[in-house]
Amino acid sequence: MIVGIDLGTTHSLIGIHAAEGPRLFPNAHGELLTPSVVSLDNDTVLVGQPARDRLVSHPQLSVAHFKRWMGSDRETRLGNRTFRAEELSALVLRSLLADAEAALGHRVDEAVISVPAYFSDAQRKATRIAGELAGIRVERLINEPTAAALAYGLQQHDEESRILVLDLGGGTFDVSVLEIFDGVVEVHASAGDNYLGGEDFLQVLMQAFHAELGIAASDLSAAEQAQLLRRLEVFKRELSVQGQARRHLPLAGAERTWQLDEARYASLCEPLLQRMRTPIERAIRDARLKPDALDDIVLVGGAVRMPMISKLATRIFGRLPLRHIHPDEAIALGAAVAAGLKARDESLREVVLTDVCPYTLGTQVSRRDASGGERSGYFHPIIQRNTVVPVSREDRFYPLHEQQHAVRIDVFQGESPTVDRNIKLGELNVPLTHRGPLHERGVTTRFTYDINGLLQVEVTEDATGRRHELVLEQNPGLLTPEEIQQRLQALQALKIHPRDAQQNLAIIARAERLYEELIHQREPLQTWLAQFRHALEGQDTTLIDRQRRELAYALDALEAGE
Amino acid sequence: MSWGLDVLELDADADERAIKRAYAKRLRVTRPDDDPVAFQHLHQAYQAALDWVRAESTADDGLDHAWAEADGALEAMAFSAQQPTPGVGEYSPPRPPQGTPVLLRTQPPVEPDGGVDVPANAQRILCEARLSPADAFGPWLEATPILWSLRYKPLVGQALLDELVRTGDGVCAANMSLLVRCFGWDDVHDGVDPDRLEAIRTRTHRRWAVQSGDPTQINAALHREGSLQMAQATAERCLRYLSKPWHAGWALWRAVLPDHVTDANRMMDALEQNGFEQLPVSWDPRQVAFWRNLVDVSQINRWRCLLGMLRGILIGALAAMLPLPFTFMALLDGLDRDMSEYGLAAIGICTAFALIGVLWPLLRWSVRQLTLDHSHTRFGLLLTLPAPLMAIASLVLIHGLGQRVEGTLMIFPALALATARWWRRVGYRIDFRIRYAVFLMLAMFIAEAGAVLVLGYWLWELAQDRRSRAETVRR
pLDDT digits over B250-274, tens only? 888 888 888 888 888 887 877 766 6
A243: left (phi over 0), alpha (psi -120 to 50) or beta: left
pLDDT at position B346 = 78
* Interface residue B27 vs chain A (CB under 8 A): yes
pLDDT bracket for residue B82 (50, 70, 90)? very low
Q: How far apart are CA B365 and CA A517, in angstroms?
A: 93
Q: Find which of A388, A412, A419, A420 to mutate to test the B interface (most B CBs within 10 Å of its CB).
A: A388
Q: How far apart are CA B403 and CA B389, in angstroms?
A: 17
CA distance B64 to chain A (A): 7
pLDDT at position B69 = 39
pLDDT bracket for residue B93 (50, 70, 90)? very low
Catalytic annotation, pick one of A6, A179, A199, A516 = A6
The beta-carbon neighbor of A316 closest among B17, B40, B148 is B148
Using CB atoms and an 8 Å cut-off, which of residues 327-366 of chain B contact chain A? none
What residues are paired with A375 via a beta bridge? A367
Residue in A with minimal Cα distance to B25: A182
Q: Write the single-letter amino acid at A471.
A: V
pLDDT bracket for residue B74 (50, 70, 90)? very low
Q: How far apart are CA A350 and CA A472, in angstroms?
A: 34
Which residues on B lie below 8 Å from A281 (Cβ)? 150, 153, 184
Listed as ranges, residues in chain A with pLDDT below 70 are 157-158, 250-254, 323-324, 473-477, 562
* Interface residue A181 vs chain B (CB under 8 A): yes
pLDDT digits over B167-218, tens only? 767 888 899 999 999 999 999 988 888 988 988 888 888 878 777 767 677 7
User: Are B32 and A451 within 8 A, CB to CB?
Assistant: yes
* Interface residue A305 vs chain B (CB under 8 A): no
- pLDDT surpassing 50 at residue B94: no
pLDDT digits over B120-174, tens only? 889 899 988 888 888 899 999 988 888 888 888 989 999 999 988 887 678 888 9
- pLDDT surpassing 70 at residue B112: no
pLDDT at position A3 = 96
* Interface residue B150 vs chain A (CB under 8 A): yes
pLDDT at position A110 = 95
Is A410 a known active-site residue?
no
pLDDT at position B207 = 79
Catalytic annotation, pick one of A41, A53, A67, A174 = A67
User: Are B150 and A257 within 8 A, CB to CB?
Assistant: no
Is A125 a known active-site residue?
no
pLDDT bracket for residue B381 (50, 70, 90)? low
The beta-carbon neighbor of B101 closest among A266, A307, A354 is A266
pLDDT at position A175 = 94
Is A193 a known active-site residue?
no
Which residues on A lie below 8 Å from B26 (Cβ)? none
* Interface residue A286 vs chain B (CB under 8 A): yes
pLDDT at position B96 = 36
* Interface residue B23 vs chain A (CB under 8 A): yes
Contact A329, A14 (CB under 8 A): no
Contact A80, A58 (CB under 8 A): no
Contact A425, A412 (CB under 8 A): yes
- pLDDT surpassing 90 at residue B231: no
Which residues on A lie below 8 Å from B187 (Cβ)? 415-417
pLDDT at position B86 = 39
Catalytic annotation, pick one of A86, A87, A132, A144 = A144
pLDDT at position B281 = 63
pLDDT bracket for residue B279 (50, 70, 90)? low
* Interface residue A456 vs chain B (CB under 8 A): no
Using CB atoms and an 8 Å cut-off, which of residues 72-91 of chain B contact chain A? 73-74, 77, 79, 81-84, 90-91
Catalytic annotation, pick one of A53, A99, A132, A167 = A167
Query: What is the pTM assigned to this prediction?
Result: 0.76
The beta-carbon neighbor of A352 closest among B21, B28, B195 is B28
Contact A199, A236 (CB under 8 A): no
The beta-carbon neighbor of B104 closest among A263, A320, A416 is A263
pLDDT at position B398 = 83
Q: How far apart are CA B228 and CA B271, in angstroms?
A: 10
pLDDT digits over A410-449, tens only? 999 999 999 999 988 888 888 888 888 888 888 999 999 9
CA distance A472 to chain B (A): 19
- Mark out the alpha helices in B271-403 (DSSP H runs): 285-293, 302-321, 324-333, 339-368, 386-395
Residue B45 phi/psi, 5-degree rounding, is -65, -45
Q: Write the single-letter amino acid at B53.
A: V
Using CB atoms and an 8 Å cut-off, which of residues 102-161 of chain A contact chain B? 159-160
pLDDT digits over B435-463, tens only? 777 777 777 778 788 888 888 888 888 78
Residue in A with minimal Cα distance to B61: A290
- pLDDT surpassing 50 at residue B78: no
Average pLDDT, integer, range B17-39: 90
Q: Find which of A140, A247, A264 to mutate to test the B interface (most B CBs within 10 Å of its CB).
A: A264
Q: Strand A391-397 and strand A21-24: pairing?
A: unpaired
Q: Is the dihedral of CA A223, A225, A230, A231 positive or negative?
A: positive
Angle between helix B302-321 and B285-293 (nearest 10): 60
Using CB atoms and an 8 Å cut-off, which of residues 202-231 of chain A contact chain B? 212-213
CA distance B77 to chain A (A): 9
CA distance B103 to chain A (A): 7
Q: Is the dihedral of CA B373, B374, B376, B382 positive or negative?
A: negative
pLDDT at position B109 = 42
Q: Is the dihedral of CA B379, B385, B386, B389 positive or negative?
A: negative
The beta-carbon neighbor of B62 closest among A183, A290, A414 is A290
pLDDT at position B370 = 53
Q: How far apart are CA A503 and CA A549, in angstroms?
A: 10
Which residues on A lie below 8 Å from B33 (Cβ)? 342, 451
User: Are B188 and A292 within 8 A, CB to CB?
Assistant: no
What residues are paired with A354 via a beta bridge? A186
In DSSP notation, A71-123 reads TS--EEEETTEEEEHHHHHHHHHHHHHHHHHHHHSS---EEEEEE-TT--HHH
Q: How far apart are CA A392 and CA B271, in angstroms?
A: 47
CA distance A558 to chain B (A): 24
pLDDT digits over A376-395, tens only? 899 999 999 999 999 999 99
User: Are B28 and A183 within 8 A, CB to CB?
Assistant: yes
pLDDT averaged over chain B?
75
Which residues on A lie below 8 Å from B27 (Cβ)? 184, 352, 354
Is A144 a known active-site residue?
yes
Using CB atoms and an 8 Å cut-off, which of residues 230-259 of chain A contact chain B? 243-244, 246, 256-259
- pLDDT surpassing 70 at residue B284: yes
pLDDT at position A89 = 96
Q: Tally C-beta pairs within 8 A across A and B.
A: 162
Residue in B with minimal Cα distance to A293: B62
Q: Find which of A290, A296, A351, A389 to mutate to test the B interface (most B CBs within 10 Å of its CB).
A: A290
Torsion of CA B29, A142, A48, A493, to 10 degrees: 90
pLDDT bracket for residue B95 (50, 70, 90)? very low
Using CB atoms and an 8 Å cut-off, which of residues 60-79 of chain A contact chain B? none
Task: Say how many CA atoms lie within 13 Å of B323 toward its Cβ.
Answer: 12
Greater model confidence, B386 or B265: B265
